[in-house]
Structures are given as structure tokens and as C-alpha cells.
Chains A and B, each alone.
Chain A
Amino acid sequence: VKTVSGLLADIQKSLLERATAFRDSHIYDPKDYTELTQVVQNGWAYSYWCESAECEAKVKEDTKATTRCMPLDQSGGKGKCIVCGKESDRRVYFARAY
């Protein structure tokens, strides 16, 4: 019983580690809009975004990727909107979704 319970706990842990590693290796920080359109074909783009509906719609039209979420714990940095270049302090995940 002990052996199997330990084995199950190990499996639980390794499943999370494997899925996390897979996720992290498919999240990209594209340097420009062209690169964004490429990375969302096989991954997520984590980019600064001005929060305008226009920029969001453009990405969707060009790539089928939508904004997924603006994560809670952001580093607090600033950058330029990956679509229009406007100054922004929030990043968002762009990805194709189910």
C-alpha cells in the first residue's frame, strides 16, 4: 500500500511538472507583430497590449488567436503594444483557443 501510494504521489507530481514544462516551452515573447503572428501558430504569445478592442480584433482576424487573459501577477514593467505600439503596462496572452 505504501509503495503504491508513494508511486501515485510521484505520478501526480510528475504530471504537473511535465505539463508545466510543456506550457512554459510554448510561451513566447515576440519582438514584433510579424513574430506574434508566427508564434501563435504553435504556442502562446505573452505581449504588452494597449487593451483596445481594435488591436485585439486585428490579431484575431490575422491569426485566429484571441486574448486569453491578463495574468494577475505582472512584473510591473512597461512596454509597447505589440499591435499598435502604444505605451502599456499590462501584458496579455494571445492564443488560439477551444
Chain B
Amino acid sequence: MSDEKLTPRNIDFSEWYNQIVLRAEMADYAPVRGCMVVRPYGWALWENIQQALDRRFKETGHVNAAFPLFIPMSFLEKEKEHVEGFSPELAVVTIGGGEKLEEPLVVRPTSETIIGYMYSKWIKSYRDLPVLINQWGNVVRWELRTRLFLRTLEFYWQEGHTAHTTEQEAREETMRMLQVYADFAINEAAVPVIPGVKSQIEKFAGAAMSTTIEAMMQDTRALQSGTSHFLGQNFAKAFEIQFLDKDNSLQYAWTTSWGLSTRFIGAIIMTHGDDQGLILPPRLAPVQAVIVPIFKSEPETTALKSHPDLSSMTGKCVACHCESRSVPKMWKKVRSLWHGVIDPVARGSPSFHRQVW
């Protein structure tokens, strides 16, 4: 880890971004091209994102489940636009346990197909609807040009998949989840996104209509930060998700899907960071404040660490971290800047701290 300054944003924004991700220890390059390792600090941020979203999903009536990583190749071929859109990006398993597989298995790029298949088994009557399931997981898309968090072969996300009796209900769900994303982005991440409808060309492969939250990065480029799709009856027809309605006639269900991924971490970095380092919105920051004890003797540091105000600070409303004294002073300051945390410096003897806090 070098002690040099970051490349300024106005010199090379993309280099600034890469350096900040690496130096703030959010992610690193994996040995496989295009893959990333999310390091503990990056993952802690992702966990806070997950909590903020998951709470909103539960509040809007959704439940979590887990579907398999492998999808039979034939499933993807059932929805024409879907397979056309995703086939160039698929990772396919052809050998398992040393044997050639009868049917190749796709590593999920998204789960509409496998979930559609399961819904066709579970949904029989209008009484079974709506189904409102979300899953947290990872997916693989064989991208050619990759960037840490922004576009990687494997990434982490949540994908919600819902089925409804009527078109109107499914459209309402699509817009409800778009608003959930917008509310999360603006109020938790302080990223002022614009919610809206995608063009026919830019929509999700297999959707009837796609909606998105779009954010402007500091180089003014747009970042699609979350999407919510109205799938019409496209996947219901491909996977025969049918139910008996109140008049006992067989109907196709109306479905939606919506997702937000670790890409959003890239949005946070490129919206808030500056030439000194990372800046994280406090509501999502894993470490909100760092106390840097600057004392002459070890007993004074120990006294500070056992001070009741400090324990109430670390325990209650502030995610606070007390730096060890063994780290050189300037180094600590520099590292805190890279990590994007504020550090109210506590000076003097323990009696002084009451005034500070």
C-alpha cells in the first residue's frame, strides 16, 4: 500500500476510482480475469446496504428464499428475448464429477427462469397469489470489459420475483419497488437518483417494461443503479405459471422482477468521494467516526478506552472505532481519510473528554 496521493479526479477519474477502491481496501482483483474479491470493509458496507433494503422489502410484504445456482440450459431457451439477451454472457458447466452432463447447466445470470419453473409448480389458484419472494445471492455474467464493483463477471445482488393475478397489480408492484430503490438511494446513500422508464432498446431482455434509477457520477456519466421490471405474461407463458381464477377459468399470472447489486457501491464511491479519499454516507458507513488518542503515556490511552462515554458511543448511536496507539499518528490520519471516516480528535487528559462529547 503506497503512501502517495490519489490521482485527482479531474486528471483521470477512472484511475482515481480504481485507486480509491484498492486503497480503501474495499475490493481487490481476483486471479480470474474480471472477478473481484470484496474485502471486509467493502463487505461491511454491502451488509449495511442489505439491511437498509431488506427492511424495506419486508415492510412491503416480501419474504426471502434461496434458489439454485445452476439452471438447465433448456430453461433459458424458453423465453426468446431472454436467451438472446443473455446467451453471449453465459458461463456453462458441461462436466460434473468427471462425467459429461446430459444437459449443460448455466450458472445463473439472473433467476427469472428457474424461479418461473418453481412458481408454475407452486401456483395453482388465485388464492396462491400474490407470491412475493426475494433472494440475496450471486450471479455470473461473462462481461468483456470489467471494473471493480461496476461490472464484474460475478457480482452480488438481490433479485425480487413476484407473481400476481392481474396486470394492474403487477404494474403497481413494479413501480412500488422502483420507489423503494429510489427511497433507499436518496435517503440512505445520499445518491440523488432519477427514477424513470427505460426505452424499448435499453429494457431488460424479456421484460414488457423496465424501470430504473439513474445516478450521475462526478464525471457526469450515468450509472444505472437498480432496476424494476414489469414482465407482463412473457415468463408466465414460457413456464406455464397458470392459476384458476374465481370463475374457475385458467389464467396466466403476471410477473415482475427487480434487482440492485454491488454495483451500487461504485455509485456511492463515484458520487461522494473526493481527491483525499472515500466519503461514505454516515447512514451506511461501517465506521462512522474514529477516535485517535494522542497521549504521551499508555495509561492515559487505557483510561480513555475504558471511559463510559466512549463505550456508550461505540455501543449506541455511532459506529465508532478507537485506533490503537501503536500506529504512527500521520499514517492513521491518512488511512482514515482513504476510508472516508471523520475523526474527531480527542486531546488531553480524560477529564477533558466530557466537554468534547
Contacts and interface: CB of A to CB of B under 8 A. Distances in A.
A97 B195 CA distance: 15
B197 A70 contact: yes
A97 B222 contact: yes
B41 to A, nearest CB: 18
Interface in A40-98: 42-44, 51, 53, 56-57, 66-72, 92-93, 95-98
A27 to B, nearest CB: 8
A8 B216 contact: no
A66 B6 CA distance: 31
Contacts of A12: 190, 281-283
B195 A9 contact: no
Interface residues of A, number: 38
Contacts, number: 124
Contacts of B175: 72
Max chain B C-beta neighbours (<10 A), residue from A2, A19, A20, A53: A19
A34 interface: no
Contacts of B211: 69
Contact of A53 (B201, B223, B272, B312): B201
Contacts of B281: 11-12, 15-16
B175, B217, B282, most chain A CB atoms within 10 A: B282
Contact of A44 (B220, B283, B316): B220
Given A1-B312, A16-B192, A95-B221, A44 B199 contact: no
B101 interface: no
B199 A93 contact: no
A7 B175 CA distance: 34
Given A1-B309, A26-B220, A98-B221, A20 B288 contact: no
A19 B272 contact: yes
A11 B342 contact: yes
Interface string B195-220: 11111111000000001101011101
Interface centre among A3, A4, A22, A95, by most chain B C-beta atoms within 10 angstroms, is A4
B150 interface: yes
Given A1-B312, A67-B199, 20 more contacts: A4-B288, A4-B318, A7-B342, A8-B288, A8-B289, A11-B282, A15-B281, A22-B218, A43-B220, A44-B222, A66-B202, A68-B202, A68-B222, A69-B196, A92-B199, A95-B221, A95-B222, A98-B150, A98-B151, A98-B221
Interface of A: 1-5, 7-9, 11-12, 15-16, 19-20, 22-23, 26-27, 42-44, 51, 53, 56-57, 66-72, 92-93, 95-98
Interface of B: 147, 150-151, 175, 186, 190-192, 194-202, 211-212, 214, 216-218, 220-224, 266, 271-272, 279, 281-283, 288-289, 309, 312-313, 316-318, 320, 342, 344, 356-357
